[in-house]
Structure 1
Amino acid sequence: MSYVIGIDLGTSAVKALLVDRNGTVAAEASRSYPLFHEHTGWSEQRSDDWVDASVEALRELTSTAGIEASAIEGISFSGQMHGLVLLDGEGNPVRNAILWNDTRTTEQCREIERTLGDKLLSVTRNPALEGFTLPKILWVRQYEPEAFVQAKLFLLPKDYLRYRLTGQLHMDYSDAAGTLMLDVAGKEWSGEVLEAFALPASFCPPLIESHGLVGTVLPQIAERTGLPATTKVFAGGADNACGAIGSGILSEGLTLCSIGTSGVILSYENDKTKDFAGKVHFFNHGKQDSFYAMGVTLAAGYSLSWFKKTFAPNESFDQMLDGVGKVKPGAGGLLFTPYLVGERTPHADSAIRASFIGVDGSHERIHFARAVMEGITFSLNESVDMFRRAGKTVDTIISIGGGAQNPVWLQMQADIFNATVVALENEQGPGLGAAMLAAYGSGWFDSLESCADKFVKHADSYSPQPEAAAAYEGIFKIYQQVYEQTRGLNEALAPYRG
């Protein structure tokens, strides 16, 4: 049996999966690394911590009992998006990496908007948000000029890891799309954007497809990890793109719902001219010449975790939700908006806060729990609704994460989204997507789709119930009014928050 490895470089840990030709995960290994928050809103990591942790994880996989390291044919990567790694002329980092969840760059975002105007959306296809990479570059230039003078090239997190394993500098299109420097439709670094901010073309690494071969592991890395020096290394992709691949989101009509701490609705797109006016993200996919649109709910699973911590701290989630399926759609006229930490899609608003609307004396805790689950799903449905209004077909949704662990919630998603919702047998998300890119790049399959047919295994399927779907259609219209009705109130309350 031969194998590939998918490496998922996350924010808190790296996870490596050893996957065989049947798509079975034969072994996995994980290593964590620290985050640094030197000031409020700052979030940084040491780039070489990623390398050390990944080498350790790879060493664990190659020493797995019963596995011959020589049977490992290829490696690919999934990585946290947007993080800035600046390299000097010797290829060494000039400072810590600034991560996707760092919020220090509001001033630079406004500068980008003023400078690029309409070109921001027409070229990069995304609004200027603090998490993106270009604002971070401008911040370093403004506030750390000594470091910026040393910087000759930038990379994103997984690209730095791959560079240290291979000695080769590249960036794939799906990750480059999150920098605000890529012409997303044209698939090239934007000369207009680089010129507008006086950045030389040499500041950007060569672009490559996600399944593209970049080389083999360096001899010293082979020695440290136990990998054969002939192990092929493929570019990989952004975590959301790889999560889509690992869930089989590879054709029109397929959409991903991922409910973790935050929530994501991600839909496959093959029309590069599709215009969402910046209301949702529009990025290059890990599948060649494809794209995806994506909306984000900031406090998805977090809203339910907050509810449990506050109102059921000594119960399990199953205990807290026992009986939630007996509550009819609409939670007895109780509505929740999951704006605990602000919102992203379709309202990029850091000041808005959550609400329970319609509370009366007949409501019990189970009604509130049902309302929280519905409110999270309504927020995600904002993205589904926008996709449909833009002409997209959304008829099948693959659901992963916490929302896929509860049958009642899966049925609720089917009813609110008014689409067939499918759970997966074995969720491995971005790590499996990275392994699939290595399998496809290694020639195991003639396409990512045929790889998905083998690797991605569907479990239960949920169809919308006509009566519930009709009820939710009306409630959703009410939900959509709550943001505007409460925005001014939340702004007025802001000075009183701790």
Structure 2
Amino acid sequence: MAEDYVIGIDFGTDSVRALVVNAHNGNSVSSALREYPRWKAGKYCDPSSSQFRQHPLDYLESLEAAVNEALAGCPASVREQVRGISIDTTGSTPVAVDRNGQALAMHPAFAENPNAMFVLWKDHTANQEAVEINKLAKRWTTDYTRFVGGIYSSEWFWAKILHILRVDGQVAQEAFSWMEHCDWISAELTGDTDPLKMKRSRCAAGHKALWHPDFDGLPSEDFLVALDPLLAGIRSRLFAETSTADQPLGTISRQWAKRLGLPDNVVIGVGAFDAHMGAVGAMIEPYALCKVIGTSTCDMLIAPNEEVGHLLVKGICGQVDGSIVPGMLGMEAGQSAFGDIYAWFAKLVISPVSALLGEDQAAELEKRLIAYLSDQALLLPVTENDPVTVDWLNGRRTPDANHMLKGAILGLDLGSDSAKIFKSLVESTAFGSKSIVERFKKEGIPIHEVIAIGGVARKSGYVMQVLSDVLNVPIKVAAADQACALGAAMFASVAAGVHKSLPEAQAAMGSGFDMVYHPRPDVVPVYQKLYGKYIQAGNFIENEFLVSQLIPEITN
């Protein structure tokens, strides 16, 4: 049998990883990770206003370095036997492009302009635009939000585009079209970046851009102009058709073949979002909830169209035919912050140490803090009187997106030490996960099992145990430590024709599971009662928010 290799490239929030995989047995030959240098330096971001932008050069430079490093770790013959490359990215992470599909930030005039860069998934500067989209959608003759849970999010395509157009006239004038990161970077590798001709990811379009066949593609021109005249004409410069990730996008350009030292016939697949390809790498099956757990979470679920295609699941991040596995209805939910909440608490503890004792002391503490707090929290009893935290520190993604909501910690007293507070934070992220599971069940979508992937899933046994306790189901952790990149490699093998279908690729390349967490019977009923308090606290916070929003309207 010929040796065929594929490369899965996974663009995360902080770094990109390239994974070289044997397409016939799934063996990982080599991998490499590169952090984004400008992002790491904190450039173009303002957390206080929830602005998070990434420069296209971070993506291009890091991709080249990671792929070359990964290939350098392989036998020399592997380079000539690479058949395909597929890419996953964060999303919705769109960018303004010129007529040729070049990101505006690549032009000297926009090189330092954050509005001309990629608007990262976690950027919430478009909260107001999301509110306006939702209000218009509810009174329009066609509800364009009905396939995305009935609520449009500030983390998504149209809200971000409209916000940039409103705040930056120069970008608005020069932007011919807009591209998701997964579309742009994949097209870059082919050298064919014409925004009017290139294939667009169904995953990105269906979940974030309100694309659906029932709408003949994107929302109508009349709807977009009614939302804001600044959107006039953009629809015709975007796309009407979409492609699933098992399809080829094109072949690698001569320039990129030379930069990566690869043959000029390497097939580049259609891109998709990281969580969706990660679910494929984790061997997702119908009615198995796959949780991609990192700084935030994405919860992926697939089901046969003929069984659930008639349902409209409220409050999730969309249901799209073929967005995860071609031929299956793909559903997405998730939490806006998970690991980020633990990182916030660690920073809260460490910042005074850094200021008072120096960075060296703080750095040493940072290495050990989360593991120490996890060990201490595990020793604590679980009681009905424990503090309860609401996990909306970065707003709420699902169920029922609202990124203007805030988190809270309730039930503190003078005995509440750092371990107790950390325990409450971990429990809150598990309660947020449970609210998603309960929504799926309420809407008629059964969940037969839970699969977990991502950094938190593999590194924090305490967090995963609490999650199993709160959900009251076993949780299987995928053996692949880079499930997203592996999923991308599986798609690359199909796009390049090594495998005939995605199920065939999964059967050949999958690596199974290496850990299972089981709920502890003694704490399950206690967590059920604490979850009730979490729901009550969340309802109170949301009601207070609604009142605060209503008062200005009454006053005016």
TM-score by structure 2 length?
Answer: 0.79
Task: Indicate yes or no: 2:279 matched with 1:272.
Answer: no
Partner of 1:166: 190
Is contact 1:173-1:187 (8 Å) kept?
no
Question: In 2, distance between residues paired with 1:191 and 1:360?
Answer: 51
Q: Shift of residue 306 of structure 1?
A: 3.6
- Which of 435, 440, 444 is 1:382 aligned to? 435
Q: Shift of residue 323 of structure 1?
A: 4.9
**Could you report, residue by residue, the CA deviation over 1:85-131 in whole angstroms, capped at 9, with x for unpaired residues?**
33323333334234123333234323323433361322555523222
Question: In 1, distance between residues paired with 2:515 and 2:403?
Answer: 36
- Which of 215, 233, 236 is 2:250 aligned to? 215
Task: Indicate yes or no: 2:119 matched with 1:102.
Answer: no
More moved, 130-139 vs 305-314: 305-314
Is there any run of 5+ residues in structure 2 with no aligned partner, and where?
106-115, 193-197, 226-231, 351-361, 550-556
- Which of 137, 145, 153 is 1:116 aligned to? 137
Question: In 1, distance between residues paired with 2:279 and 2:456?
Answer: 16
Question: In 2, distance between residues paired with 1:265 and 1:373?
Answer: 17
Q: Quick one: structure 1 residues 483 and 143, their matched pair in 2 at CA, closer, same or farther if it must change by over 3 Å? A: closer
- Which of 163, 171, 178 is 1:154 aligned to? 178
- Which of 494, 516, 530 is 1:461 aligned to? 516
Letter in 2 for 1:189: G
Task: Indicate yes or no: 2:319 matched with 1:295.
Answer: no
- Which of 53, 64, 81 is 2:62 aligned to? 53
**Could you report, residue by residue, the CA deviation over 1:456-495 in whole angstroms, capped at 9, with x for unpaired residues?**
320122333444333322332222111123456789999x
Instruction: Report the secondary structure of 1:288's partner residue.
Output: coil
Partner of 1:72: 82
Letter in 2 for 1:66: P
Aligned residue runs from structure 1 range 373-452, under 5 A: 373-400=426-453, 401-452=455-506
Partner of 1:34: 38
Instruction: Report the secondary structure of 1:121's partner residue.
Output: coil
Letter in 1 for 2:203: S
Instruction: Report the secondary structure of 2:73's partner residue.
Output: coil
Partner of 1:242: 277
Question: In 2, distance between residues paired with 1:411 and 1:164?
Answer: 42
**Could you report, residue by residue, the CA deviation over 1:386-420 in whole angstroms, capped at 9, with x for unpaired residues?**
11111122131112331443434333322211222
Is contact 2:187-2:249 (8 Å) kept?
no
Q: Quick one: structure 1 residues 193 and 15, their matched pair in 2 at CA, closer, same or farther if it must change by over 3 Å? A: farther
Letter in 2 for 1:72: V
Is contact 2:250-2:269 (8 Å) kept?
yes
More moved, 212-221 vs 162-171: 162-171
Task: Indicate yes or no: 2:535 matched with 1:480.
Answer: yes
Letter in 2 for 1:321: S
Question: In 2, distance between residues paired with 1:201 and 1:488?
Answer: 37
More moved, 209-218 vs 141-150: 141-150
Aligned residue runs from structure 1 range 1-12, under 5 A: 1-12=3-14
Q: Quick one: structure 1 residues 486 and 131, their matched pair in 2 at CA, closer, same or farther if it must change by over 3 Å? A: closer
Question: In 2, distance between residues paired with 1:143 and 1:114?
Answer: 21
Instruction: Give the superposed CA RMSD.
Output: 3.1
Partner of 1:196: 224
Number of aligned residue pairs: give it.
491
Is contact 1:113-1:128 (8 Å) kept?
yes
Q: Quick one: structure 1 residues 217 and 143, their matched pair in 2 at CA, closer, same or farther if it must change by over 3 Å? A: same
Question: In 1, distance between residues paired with 2:130 and 2:344?
Answer: 31
Question: In 1, distance between residues paired with 2:127 and 2:414?
Answer: 43
Letter in 2 for 1:437: F
Question: In 1, distance between residues paired with 2:315 and 2:244?
Answer: 25
- Which of 23, 35, 59 is 2:26 aligned to? 23
Partner of 2:290: 256
More moved, 235-244 vs 342-351: 342-351
**Could you report, residue by residue, the CA deviation over 1:120-171 in whole angstroms, capped at 9, with x for unpaired residues?**
3225555232221112333344444554344333221121122221133221
Partner of 1:232: 267
Question: In 1, distance between residues paired with 2:289 and 2:94?
Answer: 29
Is contact 1:108-1:139 (8 Å) kept?
yes
Instruction: Report the secondary structure of 2:145's partner residue.
Output: helix
Question: In 2, distance between residues paired with 1:435 and 1:488?
Answer: 46
Question: In 1, distance between residues paired with 2:532 and 2:494?
Answer: 44
Question: In 1, distance between residues paired with 2:167 and 2:416?
Answer: 53
Partner of 2:163: 139
Question: In 2, distance between residues paired with 1:72 and 1:356?
Answer: 55
Question: In 1, distance between residues paired with 2:482 and 2:438?
Answer: 27
Task: Indicate yes or no: 2:205 matched with 1:176.
Answer: yes
| Aligned residues with identical type, % of pairs | 20
Q: Quick one: structure 1 residues 127 and 90, their matched pair in 2 at CA, closer, same or farther if it must change by over 3 Å? A: same
Instruction: Report the secondary structure of 2:428's partner residue.
Output: helix
Question: In 2, distance between residues paired with 1:103 and 1:309?
Answer: 21
Letter in 2 for 1:299: A
More moved, 403-412 vs 422-431: 403-412
Is there any run of 5+ residues in structure 1 with no aligned partner, and where?
none
Q: Quick one: structure 1 residues 219 and 13, their matched pair in 2 at CA, closer, same or farther if it must change by over 3 Å? A: same
Question: In 2, distance between residues paired with 1:301 and 1:7?
Answer: 22
Question: In 1, distance between residues paired with 2:211 and 2:477?
Answer: 34
TM-score by structure 1 length?
Answer: 0.87
Is contact 1:173-1:286 (8 Å) kept?
no
Partner of 1:333: 386
> Which protein is richer in helix relative to its size?
2
Task: Indicate yes or no: 2:101 matched with 1:91.
Answer: yes
Task: Indicate yes or no: 2:407 matched with 1:353.
Answer: yes
Letter in 1 for 2:340: Y
